Amino acid sequence: MDLRQLEFFSAVAAELNFTRAADRLTIAQSAVSAGVRSLESELGVELFDRSRRQIRLTSTGDLLLPKVREALDAVNEVRDAAQQSTHAITGSIVIGLMTSVTLVDVPGLLGLFRTGHPGVGVRLRAARRGSAGLVDDLASGELDLAFLALSGPVPGALIARPIASSPMVLVVPDDHRLASARPVELDGLAREEFIDLPPGYASRGIVDDAFTVAGVERRVMIEVSDIGTAAEYVANGLGVALLPEFAARDARGVRRLPVANVPEFTVYLAASRSRRVSAAVRAFVDLALPGEVAAR
């Protein structure tokens, strides 16, 4: 058994797909498949059920996955200890992020980080199920860090620090009956048809919670998975939307109106509370959140 076999197993367990795991590890799929098969042979167990179109962990694989990730964390700890004598940080970080959320200059941060720590490999993973999916991936150990938004309190399993925020605004077509209203009250929107993101996305949760508190029902007629496209549907007369202001800043043919009693959309940099923080993760947090101390 070697370290790469454990890395292959962890990556395939995270993706539940050999091709995506290979892409994530930037190696050939055949190498990943062979490595996992070799590990299964050495352990005398099957780690994945391959009998269906979508592979899944066997009960044994599910049992071993946390232990494998603990072992990989322990290896990183050894690497960190060795690096203390050379002051050079190496290793890798997997960071989750939301698509089309431009409140944080992630490319700029990554560029600065690479300049300061060229020995650290950084992989980015886009949220497939909104911030709720990023929370789950942090808790399971699939991500080291994530830029995410929350519609309520920070989950107990996470450490999260706010990094940027944007007010929520009502986006309506130029000729809408509310186009000149200031500010808009939620009870005046009960008969509107809404464009929104699916459940699990933080902006959706913020708006749903605000309407629940106000005791107002609303109708979501169109769901889009990319927050950057929602205002385009509004501009074409297909409904109204409550969005973070940045998501509609450049949209044409719409008005952006202040709305009462809807909390801001806040982006956090988050990590799992239970995982050991590597030197590479700590260095990235120090860059993104100057003055913050990453949890040990």
Q: Is 133 part of a structural domain of the chain? A: yes
| Pair (64, 91) in one structural domain | no
> For position 72, what pLDDT does the model report?
83
Domain final residue pick, 40, 71, 102: 71
Q: Is 77 part of a structural domain of the chain? A: no
Q: Is 44 part of a structural domain of the chain? A: yes
- Between CA 21 and CA 266 the distance in angstroms is 31
Q: Is 9 part of a structural domain of the chain? A: yes
> For position 70, what pLDDT does the model report?
85
> For position 84, what pLDDT does the model report?
61
Q: Is 186 part of a structural domain of the chain? A: yes
| Pair (255, 174) in one structural domain | yes
| Pair (42, 66) in one structural domain | yes
> For position 80, what pLDDT does the model report?
65
User: SS3 of 95, please?
Assistant: strand
Give me the CATH number covering residue 107: 3.40.190.10
| Pair (158, 209) in one structural domain | no
What's the structural domain count of the chain?
Answer: 3
Please list the pLDDT of the chain residue by residue as tens digits (296 residues): 788 899 899 989 988 999 988 887 888 999 999 999 999 999 999 999 998 888 999 999 999 998 898 888 888 777 767 666 556 788 889 999 998 999 999 999 999 999 999 999 999 999 888 999 999 999 888 899 999 999 999 999 999 999 999 999 999 999 999 998 788 999 999 999 999 999 999 999 999 999 999 999 999 999 999 999 999 999 999 999 999 999 999 999 999 999 999 999 999 999 999 888 888 999 999 999 975 544 43
> For position 296, what pLDDT does the model report?
36
| Pair (130, 273) in one structural domain | yes
> For position 293, what pLDDT does the model report?
43
CB atoms within 10 A of CB 284: 27
Q: Is 82 part of a structural domain of the chain? A: no
Distances in Å between the Cα of 102 and the Cα atoms of 19, 68, 178, 222 are: 29, 35, 27, 23
| Pair (199, 135) in one structural domain | no
Domain final residue pick, 42, 71, 100: 71
| Pair (67, 135) in one structural domain | no
| Pair (233, 252) in one structural domain | yes
| Pair (139, 268) in one structural domain | yes
Q: Is 225 part of a structural domain of the chain? A: yes
Q: Which of 215, 214, 246, 251 is nearest to 235 (CA)?
A: 251
Give me the CATH number covering residue 13: 1.10.10.10
Domain final residue pick, 71, 100, 116: 71
- Between CA 48 and CA 137 the distance in angstroms is 19
> For position 295, what pLDDT does the model report?
40
> For position 290, what pLDDT does the model report?
78
| Pair (144, 271) in one structural domain | yes
| Pair (172, 258) in one structural domain | yes
* 20 exposure class (CB count in 10 Å sphere: 0-12, 13-18, 19+): middle
For residue 82, what are its two tokens? 């060795």
Contact 270, 146 (CB under 8 A): yes
| Pair (174, 257) in one structural domain | yes
Q: Domain limits at 112?
A: 87-164+264-295
Q: Is 78 part of a structural domain of the chain? A: no
- Between CA 147 and CA 52 the distance in angstroms is 33
